[in-house]
């Protein structure tokens, strides 16, 4: 039987997913925690699971930051639960070592099979292949973070040791990859995805 740790700030999601997973005789929910901090504390206490279902967007420590901390404690595969699913989010998940991204409206059969696959060493991200969008570069990722922080092009250029024109080019590429038209839409989307 595979041990599953659930982490989501919404109680109804925790209860619902736990109830769905209990249908499978191959899965056991060993804990249902409401924050990234609680997850890290649970792992720090020596507890372990075969797979972690982790909410991407939570108050306090965000999903990606929780994943980074999990990596420092234990080698447990992580499957993100999210309300959103797009190329940028999928790429960020993969780059930080997640094994998959599941939409919260997933059906029972797909939920159970996905959790079992990841618990057994598989990955859901590999099945999706390359996203149609170009990969976000590390520099674009830094610029995305700066946009969310409200920095101007001039401030970004200074911090990244780039010319303002080069920063504008990076921002234009980032908008294209995010599917947005301007800085405001980019910030809204990045915040909605819970990445920064």
Give the pair of three-digit tokens for residue 101: 């991204």
pLDDT at 189: 86
- CATH 1.10.10.10 residue ranges for the chain: 138-193
CA distance 178 to 192: 12
* pLDDT cut 70: percent of the chain above it: 92
What kind of fold does domain 2-128 have according to CATH?
Rossmann fold (3.40.50)
* Cβ–Cβ < 8 Å for 153, 168: yes
Domain span(s) for CATH 3.40.50.2300 in the chain: 2-128
Query: In the Cβ-directed half-sphere of 67, how many Cα atoms lie within 13 Å?
Result: 26
Q: What integer best gives the mean pLDDT of the chain?
A: 88
Decide: 125 and 93 in contact? Cβ < 8 Å: yes
The residue written with tokens 């998940």 in the block is 93
Mean pLDDT of 160-188: 89
Q: What pLDDT score was predicted for residue 93?
A: 85
pTM, two decimals, is 0.70
Query: pLDDT at residue 134 above 70?
Result: no
User: Has domain 138-193 been given CATH number 3.40.50.300?
Assistant: no
pLDDT of residue 132: 38
């Amino acid at each position: 039987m595979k041990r599953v740790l659930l982490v989501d700030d919404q109680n109804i999601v925790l209860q619902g997913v736990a109830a769905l997973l209990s249908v499978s005789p191959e899965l056991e929910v060993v804990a249902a925690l409401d924050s990234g901090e609680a997850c890290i504390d649970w792992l720090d206490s020596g507890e372990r699971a075969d797979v972690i279902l982790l909410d991407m967007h939570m108050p306090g420590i965000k999903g990606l930051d929780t994943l980074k901390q999990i990596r420092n404690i234990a080698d447990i595969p992580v499957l993100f639960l999210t309300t959103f699913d797009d190329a940028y989010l999928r790429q960020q998940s993969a780059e930080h070592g997640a094994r998959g991204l599941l939409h919260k409206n997933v059906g029972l059969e797909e939920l159970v099979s996905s959790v079992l696959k990841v618990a057994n060493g598989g990955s859901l991200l590999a099945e999706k292949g390359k996203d149609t969008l170009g990969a976000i570069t590390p520099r674009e990722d830094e610029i995305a973070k700066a946009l969310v922080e409200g920095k101007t092009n001039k401030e970004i250029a200074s911090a990244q040791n780039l010319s303002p024109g080069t920063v504008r080019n990076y921002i234009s590429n980032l908008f294209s990859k995010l599917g947005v038209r301007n800085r405001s839409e980019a910030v809204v989307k990045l915040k909605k995805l819970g990445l920064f």
